[in-house]
Amino acid sequence: MSEYKLSIIIPTFNLENEIDNAFNSIKSQTIGFENIEVIFVDDNSTDNTLAKLNNYSHQFSNVKVLTTDKNSGYAGKPRNIGIQNATADYILFLDGDDELLLNTCEVLYDKIQFYNTDMVIAGHINVYSNGVCQHYPPLLHDNETSFKNTINPQLLNVNPAISAKLFNKFLLTKNNIIFPENIPGEDLIFLLETIINSRNILTLNNFYAYYRNLDNHSVTLNLSNDYFYGLIRAYILVCDLFEKYNIKNNIQEIVLHNHLSFFTERVIKVYFSDDFEDTDLKEIFSSDLFNELSNKDIFKDNYNFKLYFERMKNGDYNNRDLLNNIYQNFDFDSEIISDLKYVKQEISKLTIKPNKINEDNAYLRIINKKLYEENEKLKHELDEIKSSKLWKLKNKF
């Protein structure tokens, strides 16, 4: 039996200026620092991060420092190494540039023990460098919600922010659940497989577990070619996971619709970025990888999904109306209808519609860009006409 109540796994890469804040938030936990096993897994940092971690381990016997053999680029591999070396019964993940709230470990540990659940899910707070804070509860329910049937669209759509969840290690090892490596979106795959294999799950809808520190100029975090290819790989893995566990088609469609909506918003955002060429998007959507995603059975048998992929391949990136149409045509069963009605009622109570102005502005910019491109095309055709011999002959005098 472990001497620790929980293990906290922290992947690091070049975080010498941020890691102290993360570590101090762990040392300050009300559960008692001595009850926590801290496992740092450094992904071949090139700054002084590793030196700082080694200093922590020399000062505190409950701090382990491990390293990868070479930089993996994403958190999946370091986290898997952490799981292999964790000795406590429960595991919490934390990114090295984020911070736990003061009583996070105590609340999550007490809840998972008291209710004997496989996982406890809390909310998180995005904190931007300009001081803006965004609160993300796991569900729009009051207080706590217990789920015995975990194949539930609400749970499968919970924000994948991994540091807001406490996991039963036995569940992970028994089902050989690990993070996909070398891709972004590894949190999503790990979380979905954990939810599917859980006996029961508790959501703490009024409790926040950690601060996620974000730069105002970063949007999840770097919208590059590799980021989009990585998301596509992640969505392929989601489809494979659903096929493996025979998840009902209507639930698959709900979850995948939400992820494609997220994906589409990111595409629209970069469409107007000065640092991202339209040719890059065309290359992404003509790639074998995107074609592999579009050929998944769950999409091939649904006309609206098929149309979505065709439009993206043809350079028509604003598919909000089509995505809404897909939502309206879902085949809901009674349990899902009840869940979604509750969520829609809660959303309707909100007086402020987040990002509505930004979304409308992005839509107008798409229209403006299309009109500009059409105008340029017409100008080019007119120039060709003017350069023809017939035009010159008719306009000689």
Q: Residue 181, exposed/middle/buried by CB under 10 A (0-12, 13-18, 19+)?
A: middle
What is the chain's alpha carbon radius of gyration, rounded to the nearest angstrom? 24
Q: Which two tokens stand for residue 137?
A: 């509860």
Which of 324, 327, 336 minimizes the C-alpha distance to 149? Answer: 336
CB 80 within 8 A of CB 41: no
CB 201 within 8 A of CB 150: yes
Other Cβ atoms within 10 Å of 374 Cβ, number: 10
CB 65 within 8 A of CB 57: yes
Q: Which two tokens stand for residue 49?
A: 């991060």
Cα(190)–Cα(52) distance, rounded to whole angstroms?
Answer: 29
CB 210 within 8 A of CB 163: yes
- Distance of alpha carbon 358 from the chain centroid: 20
> What torsion do the CA atoms of 210, 216, 217, 219 make, to the nearest 10 degrees?
40
Q: Residue 138, exposed/middle/buried by CB under 10 A (0-12, 13-18, 19+)?
A: buried
Per residue of the chain (397 residues), give pLDDT as tens: 689 999 999 999 999 999 999 999 999 999 999 999 999 999 999 999 999 999 999 999 999 999 999 998 889 999 999 999 999 999 999 999 999 999 999 999 999 999 999 999 999 999 988 888 899 999 887 789 999 877 888 899 899 999 999 999 999 999 999 999 988 889 999 999 999 999 999 999 999 999 998 875 444 446 788 889 989 999 999 999 999 999 999 899 989 998 999 899 888 888 877 666 667 889 999 999 999 999 999 998 888 899 999 999 998 888 888 888 787 776 655 455 445 544 444 444 444 344 444 445 554 555 555 565 666 666 666 666 656 655 555 555 4
pTM for the model: 0.81
| pLDDT, position 117 | 96
| pLDDT, position 319 | 86
CB 66 within 8 A of CB 39: yes
CB 6 within 8 A of CB 111: no
The two counts, helices (H) then strands (E), for the chain are 17, 10
Which 8-state DSSP code applies to residue 355?
Answer: T
Cα(229)–Cα(90) distance, rounded to whole angstroms?
Answer: 33
How many residues in the chain?
397
CB 204 within 8 A of CB 141: no
Cα(230)–Cα(37) distance, rounded to whole angstroms?
Answer: 31
| pLDDT, position 16 | 95
**3-state secondary structure (DSSP) of residue 332:** coil
Cα(32)–Cα(10) distance, rounded to whole angstroms?
Answer: 18
